[in-house]
A and B are shown apart, each in its own frame.
Chain A
Amino acid sequence: AQRVTQPEKLLSVFKGAPVELKCNYSYSGSPELFWYVQYSRQRLQLLLRHISRESIKGFTADLNKGETSFHLKKPFAQEEDSAMYYCASRHTDKLIFGTGTRLQVFP
């Protein structure tokens, strides 16, 4: 079965520090991967997808097929980045979500 693993429940950093939120997937084909973000008391929203190879709010994520990873990175964290982050993989017409990582950015 297709799975998405986020090994860290909580990641705490200070403002200005680099951030890497880990995501590993298990899928034998060509995966379609996403990062979703949920700010406090708000709905989930798409942050970025690997197909677009874009940078959103300073975040980037590179698909590494050899390591089956799609880690989310930002060189300098900001306090407003504090949120819950979910990695997801598309399987047919469904999304499979990881368990999420809470990012706390301290001033």
Chain B
Amino acid sequence: DIQMTQSPSSLSASVGDRVTISCRASQSISRYLTWYQQKPGEAPKVLIYAASSLHSGVPSRFAGRGYGTDFTLTISSLQPEDFATYYCQQSYSSVITFGQGTRLEIK
């Protein structure tokens, strides 16, 4: 199975900060990379699909980049509602795999 490794596992930041989360695949996954946001007690929500395409309704402060094995999710100016856990997920393989998650906390 393709392993997805996120870094960091947790991150403390302040409202207005710019933050970047990384995701690395154990083999090339082309652009088959999705980013999700999950808040406690809720299901995940798509932020970015196909590595860099913004999902409908998602604010433009979220941006995704990357191709092959290395990907990033950047939030340009953190808002209070952005404090959550973020997951990357590959769909290149028929066996879908997720990163372990990055918990974004308020500093």
Is the pairing of A and B real?
A: no
